[in-house]
A and B are shown apart, each in its own frame.
Chain A
Amino acid sequence: MARYIMQRIFYLLITLFLIATISFFLMKLLPGTPLTAEDKLSEEQREIILEKYGLNDPEPIQYVNYLGRLVQGDLGISFQFDNRGVTQILMNRIGPSAQLGVQALVIGTILGILLGLLAAINHTGFLDYGSTFVAVMGKSIPSFVFAGLLQYFVGVKLGWLPVALWDGFEYSILPSIALMIFPLATAARFTRTEMLEVLGSDYITTARAKGVNELGVVFKHGLRNALIPLVTIIGPLAVSLMTGTLVIEQIFAVPGLGEQFVSSVMTNDFPVIMGTTLLFAFLFVVIILIIDLLYGVIDPRIRLAGGDK
C-alpha cells in the first residue's frame, strides 16, 4: 500500500509538471503583454518595463526561471494587482470557493442518494417519476439559469435569504443550492439505476429468503453495493463544481477563485494564470488520488497491490 501511494504521488508530480509546462507555453500564445496601459505607452517605455519583469527573455528561459521559482514555492507577483504576491491572492480567494464547493458536493450527493433510493424503492411509482423529473431538470437546466431564478424568487421576491454578496453562512446558502443541483441530479440518477440493478440480483433474493428485514436488505445489502460505483463519479463531480463556481460566484458576487481566474486571463496576468491553473490542477489530481485510495477501502474486491507484478 505504501509503495502504491509513493508511486501515485510520483505520477501526480509528473502530471503537475506536464500541466505547468503546457499551460505556460499556451499562455504565452495570448496576444499582448500584461501591461495595463499598453495603448498609452511609447515603445521605449514598454520595453523598459518588460525588461524589468524579465518578459523580454526568450520563452524557454522564462520557463526555466519560472520552474526554478515554482520549485522553491514562489508563485511570483501579480501584474494586475501591482506588487501583490500570487500566493497571497490565492489564499485570500480560496476560502469562499472551497466552502461553496464542499457544501454543494456533500449535501448535493447525500440528497441525490436519498432521492435515487426513494425512486428505486418506489420503482415506477409516483416517487420514482417525481425524482426522475427532478434529476432530469437538474441535469438539463444550466446552473446559472437556476442561480438567477433562485436569486430572484428566494432572494428578492420572498426575501428569505440574501440576494448576493458574502457576509456569513446565510450568504453561502443560495450559491450552494445553485451549485449542488448538478451533483444532486447526477447522484440521484446514478443511485436509482445502480439500486434497481442491485435489488434485482440473486443475493438480494437470497437475503430476503433468509428473512433479513427490509431495512437490512435496502441499506446493508443493497445501498452499500450500489454506492461503490458512485464513488467513481465523485471525482469528476468535484471537478465540475470547480468550473461551475466560475459562473455562480459571479452571479452571487462571491469573492472566490473563479472570478480571479477569468480576470487574470483577460489581463494577461501570467503569474496569476499559472498560479490558479496549478492550484486547480493540484486539487484535481489530489481528489482523484483520494478517490482511488478510497475505492480500495470500500470495495475489498479491488486489490491495489496486485497492480504491479
Chain B
Amino acid sequence: MRKKNWLLLVLALVLSVFLAACSGGSEEGEGTDEGNTESESEGTTEEGGEEAAEVEQILRITDSTEIPTMDPQLSTNTVSSQWLGATMEGLYRVGKDGEPEPGIATGYEVSDDALTWTFNLREDAVWSNGDPVTANDFVYSWRRAVDPDVGSEYGPYMMGGVIKNANEVASGDLPIEDLGVKADGDYTFIVELEKPTPYMESLATFTTFYPMNQSFVEEQGDQFGLEADTLVFNGAFVMSEWNHGEGWVLKKNEDYWDSDTVKLETIDVKVTKDVPTNVNLYNNDQIDRTGLTADFVDQYRSNEEFKTVLNPGVFYLKFNQTRNEALANVNIRKALATAFDKEGIASTILNNGSIAAGGLVAKKFVSDPDSGEDFREINGDLLPYDVEKAKEYWKKGLDELGTDSVTLEYLTGDTETSTNISAFMKNQLETNLEGLSLDIKQVPFKERLRLDTAMDYDIQAAGWVPDYADPNTWLNMWVTDGANNKMGFSSDKYDSMLEKANNELAQKPNERFQTFLDMEKLLIQEEAAIAPMYQEGVAQLWKPYVKDVFKNLIGPEYSYKFAYIEK
C-alpha cells in the first residue's frame, strides 16, 4: 500500500505541473496586458512629438480565399481582380470618385464613326523588371484574352461584340492577328470596334484589358503567374511574397509612374475564411479591417469603427414564363413582386448595410450624363411593396387563370442567407396572397446554374454583379433568347429599344440614358418580368487610423493607391 501511495504522488505531481503551467500563464497574461497599455501610451507621445510622418505605412488586412490566379486574362473573380488591380494598371483605372481616370493612357481620340479609338500612352510607365510599357504590350494581352489556346473565360465575354472580330477569333475562325487592335509605334494603341461603345473607358479599367509584358510572359512559359517571382507588374504595388493559402505581401512599386502618390509601403494580406476569427484578430489589433456577418452587426453597430459599404450586386426574383402558366400572367407576376417586404429583407434579415432594390440597375452606379442624377434616383422604386395592390393583382390574375390556388417552386441557393430569405419569402407571399403555396428548393450554386440554363424552375432567386459602368450590363441580359435571359421573357419593344441604345444612340449619351431608363420601366414596372429584392451591402470594422481606402463599384473592390496610415 505504501508503494501505491508513492506512485499516486508521482502522477499527482505530473498533473500539478500541467496545472501550474496554466496558472503561471495567467500572471504572464496580465503582464502582456500592461505591455499593451504601455505601447499605446508611447504611441500617443509620438503623435504629440509631431512625428506622425514616421508611422509605419503598413496595412494589415485579410481576404477570404487564396488568389485563384494572377494572370489578368484568366482572372474571373473578385479576389484576383482585387490584387491584380493593386499591382497592375490598364489604359484607364478607377479613380477616387469611382469614375475611370487615365492610367497608362493619357487620353484618346475617337473617329467620327466612333469605331476607332486611338489611345495615347504615357512614355514614363515601366514594368517592375525595367522594361517600358508599350502599345505592343496591349496588343499582345488583348489578343491573348481571346486566343482559344489561352482559354480565357472573360476574354470572349468582355470583348465579344465589342472589339472587332473578337468572337471570330475566340471561336478559332480567324487568326488572333485579325483582332481589331494594333500598335502605331511604342506609344499609340489603336482599337477598332464592332459597334460604338460609349463605356470603353470603363472597360479599359477591367483586368481582362490589362497589358502584358510579352517577353517576360514567354520567358516564364507555363510558370508565368504561379509565384511572386514569375510575375511582373506595372501598377502601384508589387507582390513581394506569395505564400499559397496563407497570404501575400505587397510592397510599394518604386518604379510606378505615379509612385509619388502612393503612401503605403506594405500591404500584408492573410487568408481567413471564418468571420468570428477575423473579428477576434481585429479586436486583438492584428488586422486593420474585418467584415461582419449579420449576427455581429448588432453588437458593433454603435461602435465608431463600424461602417457599411454598398456593393454593386443586385438580387432579384426571376419569373420563368415557360414552365408554369401562372407565371405567364402579368398580374400574377406583379402580385408576387409587390407582396413581400423588401425593406424587411435588407434591414432585418441581411442587416449588413444592404438596401431594398427599387429596380435592376444598382444605386450609385451610373448617373444622368447631363444632370448627374443617379439612375436609381430617377427611376425610383418601380414595384414598391404594397400588400393591398398585390392582393388586387393576385385576384385579377387568378380570375384570368380561372383557378383559386397556385403552387410554385422557389429555387434558391444553399447558403445561410438563402435559407433565411426563402423562409421569409414563403411566409410573406403565402400570407399575403391567398391560395398560393410556395415550394422552396435549395440547391448548390452550380446546380442552380444548371437548372437556370435548362429553364427548369418557376421562381428563382438570382443576382447579378456588373462588370462595367453602363446600364447595358444589366439590361442586355433580357433580350429575347439572351444567354442570361433563361426565363422566357420576350418583348419586341424591349429588343428594339436595346438595339437602338447600342447602335444609333451610341453617340448620344442623353437619349441613350433615357432609353435605358425606359427599358427598366418596361421590364419591371409594366411586365414585372423580374422582381427586385435588394442591393447587397457589407458591414465592416475599420481601424480609425486607416485613411483613404476607396471602395469601387466596378473593377477591383478597393483602391489602395491613395491609402495611408495616420496614427
Task: List chain A positions with a Cβ less than 8 A from chain B.
Answer: 30-32, 35-45, 48-49, 52-53, 80-84, 88-89, 92-93, 114, 117-118, 121-122, 127, 148, 151-152, 155-156, 158-160, 163-166, 213-215, 218, 250-253, 255-256, 259-260, 263, 266, 268
Task: List chain B positions with a Cβ less than 8 A from chain A.
Answer: 3-4, 6-8, 11-12, 14-15, 25-26, 28-29, 32-33, 36, 62, 65-66, 68-69, 71, 74, 76-77, 148-149, 151, 153-154, 156-157, 160, 170-172, 222, 224-226, 243-247, 270-274, 276-277, 280-281, 283-284, 286, 443-447, 449-450, 452, 467, 483-484
Are B274 and A52 in contact, with the CB atoms below 8 A? no
Q: State A302–B30 Cα separation when bound (angstroms).
A: 55
Are B156 and A42 in contact, with the CB atoms below 8 A? yes
Q: State A264–B447 Cα separation when bound (angstroms).
A: 15
Are B3 and A215 in contact, with the CB atoms below 8 A? yes
From B6, B153, B484, contact of A35 by CB (8 A): B153
Closest to A32 in B: B446
Are B449 and A81 in contact, with the CB atoms below 8 A? no
Are A163 and B3 in contact, with the CB atoms below 8 A? no
Contacts of A218 in B (CB 8 A): 7
Q: State A259–B277 Cα separation when bound (angstroms).
A: 15
Given A92-B244, A93-B244, A45 contacting B286 (CB threshold 8 A): no
Are B244 and A255 in contact, with the CB atoms below 8 A? yes
Shortest Cβ gap from A66 to chain B (Å): 19
Q: State A218–B276 Cα separation when bound (angstroms).
A: 46
Given A37-B76, A44-B171, A83-B225, A255 contacting B245 (CB threshold 8 A): yes
Are B450 and A163 in contact, with the CB atoms below 8 A? no
Q: State A117–B446 Cα separation when bound (angstroms).
A: 52
Are B32 and A48 in contact, with the CB atoms below 8 A? no
Are B3 and A213 in contact, with the CB atoms below 8 A? yes
Are A160 and B71 in contact, with the CB atoms below 8 A? no
Contacts of B270 in A (CB 8 A): 165, 253
Q: State A176–B449 Cα separation when bound (angstroms).
A: 39
Are A80 and B4 in contact, with the CB atoms below 8 A? no
Are A40 and B11 in contact, with the CB atoms below 8 A? no
**Shortest beta-carbon contacts, A-B, top 10:** A32-B446, A255-B245, A255-B246, A214-B3, A31-B447, A253-B272, A37-B153, A82-B69, A158-B29, A37-B76
Pick the most buried of A38, A40, A215: most chain B CB atoms within 10 A of its CB: A40
Contacts of A83 in B (CB 8 A): 69, 71, 74, 222, 224-226
Contacts of B65 in A (CB 8 A): 263
Are A253 and B274 in contact, with the CB atoms below 8 A? yes
Are A41 and B156 in contact, with the CB atoms below 8 A? yes
Q: State A114–B11 Cα separation when bound (angstroms).
A: 8
Are A214 and B6 in contact, with the CB atoms below 8 A? yes
Are A156 and B283 in contact, with the CB atoms below 8 A? yes
Shortest Cβ gap from B81 to chain A (Å): 12
Shortest Cβ gap from B34 to chain A (Å): 11
Q: State A250–B271 Cα separation when bound (angstroms).
A: 10
Are A215 and B7 in contact, with the CB atoms below 8 A? yes
Closest to A249 in B: B273
Shortest Cβ gap from B435 to chain A (Å): 33
Contacts A48-B170, A214-B7, A255-B243 known; 10 new A-B pairs at CB < 8 A: A35-B153, A36-B68, A36-B77, A38-B449, A42-B157, A118-B15, A121-B7, A155-B280, A250-B273, A259-B273
Shortest Cβ gap from A86 to chain B (Å): 13
Contacts of A164 in B (CB 8 A): 272, 274, 277, 280-281
Q: State A44–B498 Cα separation when bound (angstroms).
A: 23
Contacts of A260 in B (CB 8 A): 245
Closest to B484 in A: A39
Contacts of B245 in A (CB 8 A): 92-93, 255-256, 259-260
Are B226 and A37 in contact, with the CB atoms below 8 A? no
Q: State A163–B6 Cα separation when bound (angstroms).
A: 41
Are A163 and B449 in contact, with the CB atoms below 8 A? no
Pick the most buried of A37, A45, A48: most chain B CB atoms within 10 A of its CB: A45
Closest to B35 in A: A159
Are A49 and B77 in contact, with the CB atoms below 8 A? no
Shortest Cβ gap from A270 to chain B (Å): 12
Closest to A43 in B: B483
Are B286 and A163 in contact, with the CB atoms below 8 A? yes
Q: State A84–B230 Cα separation when bound (angstroms).
A: 13
Q: State A263–B271 Cα separation when bound (angstroms).
A: 13
Q: State A31–B76 Cα separation when bound (angstroms).
A: 20
Contacts of B151 in A (CB 8 A): 48-49, 52-53
Contacts of A38 in B (CB 8 A): 446, 449
Q: State A39–B65 Cα separation when bound (angstroms).
A: 21
Closest to B3 in A: A214
Are B444 and A31 in contact, with the CB atoms below 8 A? yes
Are B68 and A81 in contact, with the CB atoms below 8 A? yes
Q: State A43–B222 Cα separation when bound (angstroms).
A: 27
Shortest Cβ gap from B25 to chain A (Å): 5
Contacts of B483 in A (CB 8 A): 41-43
Contacts of A122 in B (CB 8 A): 8
Shortest Cβ gap from A211 to chain B (Å): 11
Are B29 and A121 in contact, with the CB atoms below 8 A? no
Are B77 and A159 in contact, with the CB atoms below 8 A? no
Are B8 and A148 in contact, with the CB atoms below 8 A? no
Given A31-B447, A251-B277, A40 contacting B153 (CB threshold 8 A): yes
Are A160 and B446 in contact, with the CB atoms below 8 A? no
Are B446 and A30 in contact, with the CB atoms below 8 A? yes
Q: State A151–B484 Cα separation when bound (angstroms).
A: 44
Closest to A79 in B: B68
Are A39 and B66 in contact, with the CB atoms below 8 A? no
Shortest Cβ gap from A291 to chain B (Å): 27
From B8, B222, B246, B272, contact of A121 by CB (8 A): B8
Closest to B30 in A: A158
Are B71 and A159 in contact, with the CB atoms below 8 A? no
Pick the most buried of B33, B149, B222, B245: most chain A CB atoms within 10 A of its CB: B245
Given A81-B68, A159-B29, A32 contacting B447 (CB threshold 8 A): yes
Contacts of B445 in A (CB 8 A): 266
Shortest Cβ gap from A278 to chain B (Å): 19
Contacts of A163 in B (CB 8 A): 277, 280-281, 284, 286
Shortest Cβ gap from A50 to chain B (Å): 10
27 contacts between A and B (CB under 8 A): A35-B153, A37-B154, A42-B483, A45-B170, A48-B171, A81-B66, A83-B222, A88-B226, A92-B245, A118-B11, A121-B8, A127-B11, A156-B283, A156-B284, A158-B25, A158-B26, A160-B32, A165-B246, A165-B281, A218-B7, A252-B277, A253-B62, A255-B243, A259-B273, A260-B245, A266-B444, A266-B445
Are B14 and A36 in contact, with the CB atoms below 8 A? no
Q: State A41–B146 Cα separation when bound (angstroms).
A: 13
Are A42 and B68 in contact, with the CB atoms below 8 A? no
Q: State A148–B280 Cα separation when bound (angstroms).
A: 10
Closest to A34 in B: B446
Contacts of B4 in A (CB 8 A): 121, 214
Are A36 and B7 in contact, with the CB atoms below 8 A? no
From A80, A92, A159, contact of B33 by CB (8 A): A159
Are A253 and B29 in contact, with the CB atoms below 8 A? no
Given A37-B154, A214-B4, A160 contacting B25 (CB threshold 8 A): yes
Closest to A164 in B: B277
Q: State A55–B14 Cα separation when bound (angstroms).
A: 60
Closest to B158 in A: A40
From B153, B222, B246, B247, contact of A36 by CB (8 A): B153
Q: State A300–B7 Cα separation when bound (angstroms).
A: 29
Closest to A144 in B: B274
Q: State A263–B77 Cα separation when bound (angstroms).
A: 14
Shortest Cβ gap from B149 to chain A (Å): 8
Shortest Cβ gap from A78 to chain B (Å): 9
